[in-house]
Structure 1
Amino acid sequence: METSEIRRRFLQYFEDRGHTVVPSAPLPSPDPNLLFNVAGMAQFVPYFVGQQTPPYPRATSVQKCVRTLDIEEVGKTTRHGTFFQMNGNFSFGDYFKEDAVKFAWELVTKPQNEGGYGFDESVLYASVYYEDDEAIDIWKRVAGLPDDRIVRLGMKDNFWSMGIPGPCGPCSEILIDRGPEFGADRDWEAGDRYLEFWNLVFMQNIRGEGGGKDGYPILGELPKKNIDTGLGLERVAYLLQGVDNMYEIDEIYPVIEKATELTGRKYGAEHEDDVRFRVVADHVRSALMLIGDGVTPGNEQGGYVLRRLLRRAIRSMRLLGYEDPSLVELLPVSLEQMKKSYPELVTDFGRISQVAYAEEEAFRRTLTAGTTIFDVAVRDTKASGAHQLEGAKAFQLHDTYGFPIDLTIEMAAEQGLNVDTEGFRSLMKEQRERAKADARAKKAGHADTSGYRELREKGVTEFTGYQELSSDSQVRGLLREGAVAPFAEQGETVEVVLEKTPFYAESGGQIADEGLILGDGLKLKVLDVQRPVKGLIVHKVEVVEGVLRAGDDVHAAVDHEWRVSACQAHSGTHVVHAALRQVLGPNALQSGSYNKPGYLRLDFAWSSALDPATRSEIEEVANLAVRKDLPVSAQYMTLPEARDWGALALFGETYDEQVRVVEIGGPWSRELCGGTHVKHSSQVGALTVTGESSVGAGVRRIEAFVGMEALHYLGRERALVRLLSENLKARPEELPAKVADLAERLRVAEKELERMRAAQVLEAAAELAKDPKDVFGVQYVGHRAPDGVNGGDLRKLALDVRGRMPSDKPAVVAVLSVNDGKPGVVIALNDLAREWRLKAGDLVRIAAEKLGGRGGGKDDVAQGGGTDAAGADDALSAVEHAIGHQVTG
C-alpha cells in the first residue's frame, strides 16, 4: 500500500466518523522553543491548554513534522530521520478512551479491501500506563486482547505531558511483534521487535512543576477530557510495504535508486555508503518540504537547519563519487513521490527548485573557499607542533563557510590531525542557546499567557479598523508585566484590551498602528499593538495623563496620516509583488515582507541579481498599475475557495478556514491578507524602487518608497544631481560620463602614486643591506619603514634587502611599518638561515605577538600584523632575541 493511500484512508476513516479534516500546519513553528512543528498535536495546542475555544468537537489531520536533534544520526540507524508525517485524531471534550481505542483498533485491523490497514490481530499488542485499569479493561472488551498481550509500563514510557505545568495524561500504544529476528521475546525497551506505531494519549489530568518525564506531581483532573493520538505514517508504510526501515518506503527509496544510478555505487553493499545514501534521500525530501513551506537557506534558525540539510546531502553525494550538481537530478525524483499527498508542491516547484539549486551552487563555491581556509588552519596547527585542530577553527569553518563538522573531521584525518570536537560542540551549544533566547524574545510562549487568556474569556476584541479610524469603546482590562492589574497611573507603560478597537495589530508584514486612546481626564499613547492570543487585540500604551482603570469608557483614535501611509505601503507591497510576477514570471513568489508608513520591502524567490533594466521595468509596471486607478477590494471565503480562485498565500502563515482575500485589479493581484489597504491603486501615490539585494541563496529583496516618502526620496535625488552638476560643471545627462572620466583619472593617479611610493621604499634596500647586525653569526636587518607602507610594498622591501645580502652567510630581514594605525611586519630568510633551522613563520609569530596580533607563512617568507603600534620596536627586538636563542640553543 502506497504511503499516500495510507494517508488518504486515515483521513477518510475519521472524516466518516464525524471528524473535521484539518490541513497540516506549516512546518515552521510559532512556539518560541521550537524551530519546526514536531508533533501532530502542534496546531491544536491552543485548544488543549485553554487559550482558544475549538471550532469543532473532533478533528483529524496529517501533520508535517521536522525533528533536527538527531541530524548527525540520520542514516546510521534505520529509525532516525528529519522530515516525517504524523497522522492524528483529536477530541476536545467529546469522546474519550473507549472510542479512541475502538477507532484505532478498527482501522488497524479492518481488511484492506474494506478500507482498513489489514494488520494481523495475532501479532498486535497494547501498552498501557501501569495504573490505568480502565484502559486495560477497554482493550480486553473492544479488541479482545488477552492479558499476555497487554503490557503495563511506567510513567516514563506511557504518560504524556507538554513538559510544562498543564494538561497531561496516560498513554496507550499499539505495538506490532515483528518476530524473533528483530529481538528477544517480551523485551519491550530494547531492539526493534515490538515496534510502537500508534500512540493514544488520554489527556485527563493536570500536572505541576517538575523535570523529566516522570519528575512532576499530578495535581488533579481536567474539567474536559481530550484525546490526542499520533500514528507514524512512515512506520506504518514500511510495515505494510514489507521493507525493514523508513528509507526503503515508496516516498524515499526512489531517491536512493537515483543516487546509486548517478554514483555507480550499490546500496546494501557497504554500511558507510548506505549511511550516505540514506542521508541523501532523507535530506532531499526534508529540504523539498521545508522550502515548500517557505523556509529559505540562511545562517539563523530554520534557514540554518535547511542549509545544513542541503549541504549534508550534497557532500554525501560527493563522498559517493558524484562531483556534478546533484540536486537537479534528485529533487524532481522526490517531488514525483511527494506530490501524491501534497499536490501544491507541483505548482510551486519552480520556486522550490530555484532556491535549492542556488544553494547547491553557493555551497560548491563555499567548498572551494572553505578548503583554502582549512589548509591554512592545518598549516598553522602543524607549525605550532599541535596534533589537534582547534574547536574554534572547526566552528568557524562550520558557521562561516558551511563546512559540516564531519567534513572537517574527515579532511583533518587525511592530514594526520584530530579535531577538538568538544570545543566545537560547546560553541555550537552557545550558538543554539543564543538563537533560542532570540526566538523567545520575539515570540510569546504558552507558559506566560494566563493573563491574556483571562481577558480573552470575557470575549473577543472586535476590530473596526477596516471601516473606521476611531471608535468609542470600553476598557475590558489591563495587564502589567503579563498579569491582570486593576489600574495604571501616569508614567506607567502597560497593556490594554478594549471591547473594540480601530488599531491594527502587527501581522502579515504590516507594523501596528499608532495613535491615542482618550477618556475622561485620560490620555494614552499607543506604542504597539499585538495579538498574543487568538481573538484578543492588546495595546501597549504609555499613560500620558490620568489614571487608567478597567471599565473606563474611552475613545480610540488611530493617527490618520500614519494609517494612510501604512495603507499606501501595504497596497504598494501587493502591487510590487504582482509587478515582479508579471516581469519575472510566476516563480517570483513572495517569501516575506515588511511595510510601514511610506516604506516597503519584499523578499521573493529568485536566484540572481536584477539588472538595472529589469528593475526599471518592474518599477514601471508597478506605477502603471497605480496610474490605472485599479479597484482594491476585500472579501471573505473559505480557504479551499481562495486557493481555487488563485489567491496567493504567504509562506509559513497559518490561516483559518475563513480567510480574507484582497484584490487589486481583479486577478492581476489576488492575495490572502488581513492588512489595511487603499480603496484604489492610485491612492498608493508615487512608487520608486530604491534597492535590490540578496538575503540568502535563491532569495532576493526589493525595497521601495511610496506616497510622500517616494516624493521626498526623489527630491533628495534631484537635489544631489543638481549639486553634482554645479560642482562638476556639467548638465545632468552628462554626469555619468563626467564621473566615469574622473574615476579613471583618479585610478591612474593612484597607480602612479603607488609606483612612486614603492620606488621610494625600495631605495632604502641597498643601504639596509650594507649594514646588517651580526647576531651570533646571523646577519640580521631589523628596520622600521616610514608609516603608510602597505603590506605589499613591505614584502617587496624585505625580499629586495634579502636579495642584496651575501648568500654565503645566514641572513634574516625583518621590516615593519604602521599603515592606517595598524602595524604590519614581514620577515624573509635566505637558504642558509633556514639550514640553521630558522623559520620565517616562527619569527613572524613572535613579532606579531608584540603587536597584539597574529602571523604566519612559509619558512622563507612570512607576514603578520596586529593592532598595537606601540609595540613596533619591541617586535624587532624580539625577533633579534629569538634568532640568538635559536642559534645558541
Structure 2
Amino acid sequence: MLVMKTNEIRNKFLKFFEKKSHVIWPSDSLVPQNDPTLLFTGAGMNQFKDMFLGKGNLDFKKATTCQKCLRTGDIDNVGKTASHHTFFEMLGNFSFGDYFKTETIEWAWEFLTQELKIPEERLRVSVYKDDQESYEIWGKNIGVPPSKIYRYGEKDNFWPANAPLLGPNGPCGPCSEIFFDQGEKVGCGRKECEPACDCGRFVEIWNLVFTQYNRTEGGKLVPLPNRNVDTGMGLERMARVMQGVQTNFDIDIFSPIIKSLEEITQIKYSGKDGHAILMRRIADHLKACVFCISDGVLPGNEGRSYVERRLLRRAIRDGTQLGVKDCFLYKLVPIVSNVMQEYYPDIKQRRENIARIVKSEEEKFHETLELGTARLKELMDVLQRNKQKVLSGQEAFKLYDTYGFPMDMTELILEEKGFAVDKDGFENELKKQRLQARTSSQMTGQVFDTGPLSRIKDISKGTEFLGYQEDACEAKVIALIQGDTLVEAAVAGGEITVILDRTPFYGESGGQIGDTGVLESNGNQVRITDTKKNNDFILHVGKVTKGEIKTGEVIRAKIDIQRRNSIRRNHSATHVLHYVLRKVIGQHAEQSGSLVAPDRLRFDFHHFSGLTQEEITRIEDMANEIILTNVPVVVKELPIQEARNAGAMALFGEKYGELVRMAAIGDFSKELCGGTHVHYSGEIGLFRIIGESSVAAGIRRIEAMTGMAALNRDRDKERLINEMCNVLNTNEDKLIPKTQDLLSELKNLQKEVHKVKQKEISGKVDSFIEHAKEVSGVKIIARKLDEATADDLRKTADMLMKSAKEMAIILGAAQNGRVTIIAALSPNLVKCGLHAGNLSKEIAKVVGGGGGGRPEMAQAGGQWPEKLDEALSFATELLSKKIREGALLSSG
C-alpha cells in the first residue's frame, strides 16, 4: 500500500473527480452565510443546500470539494479516541440530480483501490438494511463478497440518522459506508468483529449518502423527482490509513504540532497515557481556533465567539495540567500555518495576527484562572467555618462557567483539603446552560431552512442587482413577506418586505449599510427604510405609505441618491484608510470589520495598542493627500487569481468565488469588494478621524467622517470654541492659558474646602467614639455624615479605627439622590468570622441597593436616601447580634 502525505491525498481526490467532470469548488467559510440552521459549517453539503433542493443558481450539477468543518457535538471524545476532532477537513463529491448510486459506488471503489492502491481485502462496506439497490451494486458490479457487506439500520446507515422514524421532515436517504480494516491485532481481537463494533479495528473512511426521499408528516418517504449524491471522506482519517499510523494525531499535519508541544512541555508524547490525551486535545483545539480566527471569528461571549473562546480555554487548561504556566498556544500558530499552507495560504499570511489574538486571549484567561483559584479558596473557607464538607453544584458551576475552572480541577483541590462537590447539582446547571445556549443561538435544528425565503426559491433564482449602474429601474414584485408569512398584497400602514426580480437597491453586506428609497406604481407607494441581502435575494424592508402593493405587479424602484452618494464616499474612504493604516502602523493592521453609513464610517482593524495622536495625525494627512490627488477609482470584475496577482487584498473571514470584483484607488489601494464607490478619490472630500478605541482583544476601532459631514463637524467645534471664549471672556489664542488659570484657582479652593472638611471630620470622630454602643468589648459606630463623599467616609473610618482596638463601623451618606455606605472592621473581628463585604451587602438592601468588598473594609450603595437612618439602625442591630452570637472576642 502506498504511503501518502495529507496534501497529496487531498489533491489526488479533487483531481480524480475533476476528471469525472466535477467542478472543483472552493471550501465555504466556517461561518455559514445566510443559513439560520447552522452555527458553523459542519459538512461539505452545507453550501450546496439550495442545489440539493433544486433552487440553486450554480451552473453545474457535479462538484467536488475539500470543506473545512467544525463540530462540537463529540467534543468530550476529542483526544481520547483515535479519530474525533472539532476541526477537520471533509473531502466530498456531489451530484445535484445527475448521477446516482452506480457511478458513486464505482468511482469510490476506483479511487480507493486504483488511485490510493488500498488492497481490496482491507476494505469493508455497509448499506442500509432496506437498500437492496446499493447491496447489489456492491456485490454484482464491484464484486465485494457478501461476507464483507453489512446491512445496518437507520441509526447507522441513513441520513439524517433515524430520519424515517424520528425525522426531521425534508430530503433524506440511505447511506453506504466504506471501512478500512486495520487487522485482528487492533481492537477487540474477536474473529467475528465487524464495522459496527466500537473497538477501533475498523476505520470509517467514506460515507456515501443517496438523497432520494422527501420525508413528510407521519414518517412517509416520498421519492424525490431529482435524486442527489452527497459523499464525505474524512481527510485526517484517510491520511491515517495511508500513513499506517494508529491515530489521526500521528499524521503529517498533526505530528509537527505534537512535537512542538513536547519541546514546550518537556514531556515525551507516548500516544497512550493521560498526557497524550491532553496533547492531542491541545493540537485539535488550537487548529480549530486558528481557522476560526482566519474566518473572522474572534473570541467572545456569544455564539460562535463563545465556542471559540471555550476551545481556547480548554487548550490553555490542558497546558496548565501539563505544567505550562505561561502563554504557549500562540507559539504553535506558526507550526499550524506551516503544515496547512499549501491548501490554505491565507493562514500563513495572517499567522502574526492570529498569534497575537491567541496570545491576548491566553493572557486574559490566566488572569481569570488566578481569580478562580482565589474564589475557590474563599469557598473552602466558608465551608470550613460552617462545618460543611460539600461544595454546592451551583458554586462549582460558577467556577467552571465564570472562571473557566474545569470540574476535575475543582474536585482535585477540594479533595486535597478534605472536601467534596455536588456533582449532580453541577450537571443540572450544565444542562440548563446548554439548553439556554441552544435557544439563544437561534439555530433551528433543521437541516434545511423552511422559512418564507425557502418557498420563494421555488419560483425565483434571485434578484438581479443593477445598483452599480442605475439609481432607478422598472421591476416586478416577486413576493411580499409580512412577519413570517407570504402575502399576496399589503395596504397603506402595513409593514412589508418586498422582493423584486431586479433592483438598484444595495442590500446590506460587506459593512455597507442598505439603501433607502421608494417603490411606486400608479399612485401607490412603499417607503423603503432598509435593504437586506439573503443569498441571491435582496429584501426591501419598509412600509406601505399610499394605496397598496401586490405580488406580480410592475413598480418603479428609486433609491435615495443623496444618501447613496454619502455612503459611496465613506466606502471608498474605508479603502483609503485601510491602505494608509498598513503604511503607518504595519502590515498586520488588517480589516476586522466595518460599517459604512451615510453620516460616518467605522473601521475595525488588528492592532494591540492605542494609536498615538502623532499616528492619528499622520493617518489623516496621508489619507487626505490621496484624496487630493483625485485619482480614478476603477472597479472591475476579474478572475480571483488575476486580482491576487495584481495585489488585491482579500479580507479576514470573507469567502470569494472564482470571479471577483476589485476596487482600485489609483496605484494605492486594491481590495476585493462588492460595495459601491466614488469615481474619483477627490469626491470623498475632507477626511477626519473622530474617534479611536478598543473593541476586543487585539482589535482597535477608528470612526471617521468625510465630505460635508466632516466639514459640519469642524464648524460645530469652531462654534463651541467661540462660545467658550465668550463665557470665559477671552480670545481664542488665550483660551488655554485662561482655562489653566481657572483650574489652578479651583484646585486651591478645593484644597481649602478639604482642610475645612478634615477638621470637621476630626471633630466628629471624638463624638462618634464617645457615643458608640459597646457590645462584648466592641465599639459599634453606625452614623450618618451629611453631604460626604465615599472618600470622606473612608477617611473617617480610617481615623476611627486608630482610636480604639476593637471596633465595627458603618458610615453612610446621601448625595445627589444616591446612598453610599462604608463598612469597616478591626482585624480581630475579621479573624472571628465577620466580613465587611457581606455586612455592607445586607445593610444596602434596606436602601434599595447592593455592594461588597474585602473582609476588613467594603463599600455599598443604594437608591433610597430616605431610608438611610433605618439602614444605620438595622446595621447596629445586625452587628450587635453577630457579636453576641459568636462571642467573638472571647474566642480571640
- Distance, in Å, in 1 between the alignment partners of 2:861 and 2:267 is 50
8 Å contact kept, 1:85–1:232: yes
Check the 8 A contact 1:780/1:880 in 2, yes or no.
no
The reply on whether 1:253 has 2:255 as its aligned counterpart is yes
Cα shift at 1:771: 4.3
Q: Compared with structure 1, are the counterparts of its residues 272 and 762 closer, same or farther at alpha carbon in structure 2 (3 Å cutoff)?
A: farther
1:122 paired with 2:92, answer no
Q: What's the CA shift for 1:172?
A: 0.3
| Contact 2:591 2:651 (C-alpha < 8 Å) held by counterparts | yes
Match of 2:564 in 1: 563
Q: Is the 8 A contact 1:824 1:865 kept in 2?
A: yes
The change in CA–CA distance for 1:750 and 1:360 in structure 2 (over 3 A counts) is: farther
- Code of the residue aligned with 1:501 in structure 2: it is T
Matched, 1:343 2:345: yes
Return the match for 2:179 from 175, 181, 186.
Answer: 175
Query: 8 Å contact 1:2–1:237 — kept in the other structure?
Result: yes
- Higher deviation after alignment, 347-356 or 149-158: 347-356
Alignment of 1:695-706 (within 5 A): 695-706=695-706
Q: Which runs of 5+ in 1 are unaligned?
A: 111-115, 210-215
Instruction: Output aligned runs, 1:56-71, within 5 Å.
Output: 56-71=60-75
> Aligned pair in 2 of structure 1 residues 551, 81: CA closer, same or farther (>3 Å)?
closer
In structure 2, the partner of 1:230 is: 232
1:643-682 alignment to 2 at 5 Å?
643-666=644-667, 668-682=668-682
In the TM superposition, what is the alpha-carbon distance from 1:725 to its structure 2 partner?
3.1
Per the alignment, residue 30 of structure 2 pairs with 27
The answer to which of 718-727 and 421-430 deviates more is 421-430
Residue 262 of structure 1 pairs with residue 267 of structure 2: no
The whole-number CA distance in structure 1 between the counterparts of 2:36 and 2:42 is 13
Hey, what's the Cα distance between the residues in 2 that align with 1:541 and 1:701? Answer: 31
Call closer, same or farther: CA 1:426–1:404 in 2, change over 3 Å: same
RMSD, aligned CA: 3.2
Secondary structure of residue in 1 paired with 2:155:
helix
* Equivalent of residue 186 in structure 1, options 190, 193, 202: 193
Letter in 1 for 2:469: Q
CA displacement at 1:204 relative to structure 2: 0.6
2:587 counterpart of 1:586: yes
Equivalent residue, structure 1, for 2:133: 134
CA apart distance, 1:558: 0.9
> Are residue 491 (structure 1) and residue 493 (structure 2) matched?
yes
Q: Letter of the 1:813 partner, please give it.
A: A
Farther-moved stretch of structure 1 (36-45 vs 262-271): 262-271
1:195 alignment partner, SS class = strand
Which of 441, 446, 459 aligns to 1:436? It is 441
**Percentage identity across paired residues of the two chains:** 37
Q: Which residue of 1 aligns with 2:315?
A: 313
C-alpha displacement of 1:677: 1.2
CA distance in 1, matches of 2:330, 2:277: 21
Q: C-alpha displacement at 1:412, in angstroms?
A: 5.5
1:707-763 CA distances to partner (integer Å, 9 max, x unpaired)?
221112212222222223333455545555655665566566556645653443343
- Corresponding residue of 1:814: 809
Following superposition, the deviation at residue 50 of structure 1 comes to 3.1
2:877 is aligned with 1:873: no
Question: Post-superposition shift, 1:40?
Answer: 1.4
Moved more, 749-758 or 576-585: 749-758
**840-849 or 513-522, which moves further after superposition?**
840-849
Deviation at 1:428, TM superposition (A): 3.0
Which deviates the most, 142-151 or 398-407? 398-407
Deviates further, 788-797 or 472-481 = 788-797
Counterpart-to-counterpart distance in 2, 1:834 and 1:92: 74
Q: Which amino acid aligns with 1:238?
A: R
2:100 — aligned with what? Answer: 96
In structure 1, which of residues 86, 91, 113 is the aligned counterpart of residue 90 of structure 2?
Answer: 86
Q: Which residue of 1 aligns with 2:17?
A: 14
TM-score for both structures, normalised by structure 1: 0.90
Asked if 2 retains the 8 angstrom alpha-carbon contact of 1:772 and 1:779, the reply is no
- Shift, 1:168, TM fit: 0.7
Residue aligning to 2:362: 360
Deviation at 1:120, TM superposition (A): 2.2
Matched, 1:271 2:273: yes
1:140 deviation in Å? 0.8
Q: Which amino acid aligns with 1:3?
A: T
2:333–2:351 Cα contact (<8 Å) kept: no
Residue-by-residue CA offset, 1:531-551 (whole Å, 9 max, x unaligned):
3342x3232231111122233
Query: Would the aligned equivalents of 1:823 and 1:872 in 2 still touch at CA under 8 Å?
Result: no
CA distance in 2, matches of 1:342, 1:853: 54
Aligned-partner Cα distance in 2 for 1:712–1:386: 67
Paired residue for 2:216, among 199, 208, 218?
208
Match for residue 633 of structure 2?
632
Alignment of 1:335-734 (within 5 A): 335-368=337-370, 371-372=373-374, 375-376=377-378, 379=381, 387=389, 416=419, 418=421, 421-422=426-427, 424-426=429-431, 428-429=433-434, 431-433=436-438, 435-437=440-442, 446-451=448-453, 453-454=455-456, 457-458=459-460, 460-534=462-536, 536-666=537-667, 668-732=668-732
Q: Deviations over 1:546-590 (max 9, x none)?
A: 122233332211112111111112111112112212222322111
Q: Does 2:50 align with 1:51?
A: no
Task: Note closer, same or farther for the CA distance 1:493–1:417 as it changes in structure 2 (3 Å cut).
Answer: same
2:265–2:324 CA contact under 8 A, matched in 1: yes
The 1:746/1:15 distance shift into structure 2, 3 A limit, reads: farther
- Tell me the distance in 2 between the aligned counterparts of 1:845 and 1:465: 60
Q: What is the CA–CA distance in structure 1 between the aligned matches of 2:117 and 2:799, rounded to whole Å?
A: 86
Q: Aligned partners of 1:564 and 1:837: how far apart in 2?
A: 68
Letter of the 2:199 partner, please give it.
Answer: G
User: Which residue number corresponds to residue 196 of structure 1?
Assistant: 204
Q: Call closer, same or farther: CA 1:349–1:882 in 2, change over 3 Å.
A: closer
- After superposition, the Cα gap between the structure-2 partners of 1:301 and 1:840, relative to the gap in structure 1 and judged at 3 Å, is closer
The 1:330/1:650 distance shift into structure 2, 3 A limit, reads closer
Contact in 2 for aligned 1:799/1:828 (Cα 8 Å): no
3-state secondary structure, aligned to 2:156: helix
Asked whether the 8 Å contact 2:127–2:175 carries over to 1, the reply is yes
Match of 1:760 in 2: 760
Q: For residues 348 and 709 of structure 1, what CA distance do their matches in structure 2 show?
A: 35
Kindly indicate whether the alpha-carbon contact (under 8 Å) linking 1:455 and 1:477 is maintained by their aligned counterparts in 2.
Answer: no
1:90, distance to aligned residue in structure 2 (A): 0.5
SS at match of 1:529: strand
Q: Residue deviations 1:393-437, cap 9 Å, x none?
A: 666666666656666565555664637523642563365145313
Amino acid at match of 1:61: T
Structure 1 residue 522: deviation in Å?
A: 0.8
Aligned match of 2:291: 289
CA contact under 8 A between 1:812 and 1:830: conserved in structure 2? no
CA distance in 2, matches of 1:721, 1:414: 66
Q: Which amino acid aligns with 2:622?
A: V
CA distance in 2, matches of 1:525, 1:324: 58
Structure 1 residues 485 and 762, CA gap change in structure 2 (3 angstroms): same
User: How many angstroms apart in 1 are the aligned matches of 2:307 and 2:733?
Assistant: 49
Partner AA of 1:531 in structure 2: K
Q: Is the 8 A contact 2:124 2:179 kept in 1?
A: yes
| 1:130 to 1:854, Cα distance in 2 relative to 1, 3 A | same
Aligned 8 A contact 2:394 2:426 in 1: no
Helix, strand or coil for the counterpart of 2:80? coil
Distance 2:37 2:29 in 1: 16
SS in 2 for 1:157: coil
Contact 1:801 1:813 in 2 (8 A): no
Query: Cα deviations across residues 432-481 of structure 1 (Å, max 9, x unaligned)?
Result: 145313x77xx999523455543663454322211121112333343333
Task: Provide the secondary structure at the position in 2 that maps to 1:182.
Answer: coil
